[in-house]
Amino acid sequence: MHELSIALEVCRLVETRTGPGAANVTQVGIEVGDASGFEAANLEFCLDALFSRPPFGRAKAVILRTPGDDLRLTYLEIDE
């Protein structure tokens, strides 16, 4: 299940970008290409599980399926 390793990396990136503000993240946008080899539903499941624990708690993954093989963190929405 390589989606879990990607989900852990997404969490690391979010924490790196927000620092102690990770608890204020409400949405994390991710583009998943149809040819990327990642199952979007599995990635979303992993992210939901990780985002429900500290330092997060309110974050929700918003996954956009795209053509191609991209896997990209596109945006962070933060409630300040």
Q: Which amino acid type is present at position 49?
A: A
Chain center to CA of 57: 13
pLDDT of residue 21: 83
Count CB-CB contacts under 10 A for residue 65: 10
19 CB burial (10 A radius; 0-12, 13-18, 19+):
exposed
What does the alpha-carbon distance between residue 21 and residue 39 come to, in Å, rounded to a whole number?
Answer: 29
pLDDT digits (tens, 9 = 90+) for 3-47: 999 999 999 999 999 988 889 999 999 999 999 989 999 999 999
Q: Where are the domains of the chain?
A: 2-78
The topology (CATH level 3) of 2-78 is: hypothetical protein PF0899 fold (3.30.2320)
DSSP state of 3: H
pLDDT digits (tens, 9 = 90+) for 43-68: 999 999 999 999 998 899 999 999 99
74 pLDDT higher than 90: yes
